[in-house]
Amino acid sequence: MGSLIKRVLFILSFSILQLSLIAQDIRDINGDQTGYLSLGARNSLGMFRTNGKSFTGTGAGGQFGIRIAKDFNSHYFADWITSNIDNVAQRNDFHSGFSMMPQLFTPKLANSHVEIFPLAGICIDYTKFSITSGNNYLNGPKWLERYSFAVQAGFGGTLPVSKDLDFTMDAHYMLHIGTDVEIERN
């Protein structure tokens, strides 16, 4: 008789476990995307001033995003930008940081919802100037480097192309905190 009770209790315990698993709510994955991770490539265009002149640089990198809340996203990025400075030097910038992006509104565009957002964040920056021509380095180093950090603010938008693909474009201003590297021509 004791072994029969043990068998019944054993079967009931697995039945209760099964019922507790079935009783869980099914999550609507199409609605709230909190906690979702996205991966992406990054094309960069950098504009800066040195010696009173404006220069542009181009680069590439990668990023990943984590949706923190229904209307709040975050992107973590790293990119490398190269610039030509008057055919005398080459400037290389490495940026690594993050941006917080609260969603302001989502205007409907065809069957997609565009997300418009401001952004703010911080960035760790490495800059290296390398002399590429001229006699500027005869009395000094052939390259200079600096490490700094920056705060950034801007705005952007995301256009969903499909369920698994979107296109995000943003513009932000980086205020670098630390010394700048400049080149002087002789």
pLDDT, position 22: 46
Summarize the confidence of residues 71-90 as an average pLDDT: 89
pLDDT at 31 over 90: no
pLDDT, position 115: 83
The 10s digit of each residue's pLDDT in 149-178 is: 999 999 998 888 877 788 888 998 988 887
- Rounded to two decimals, what is the model's pTM? 0.71
Q: Tell me the residue type at 165.
A: L
Please state the domain extents for the chain.
27-177
Instruction: Report the chain's mean pLDDT, rounded to a whole number.
Output: 78
Question: Tokens representing 107?
Answer: 């205007």
CATH no. of 27-177? 2.40.160.20
Q: Which residues pair with 56 in a beta bridge?
A: 47
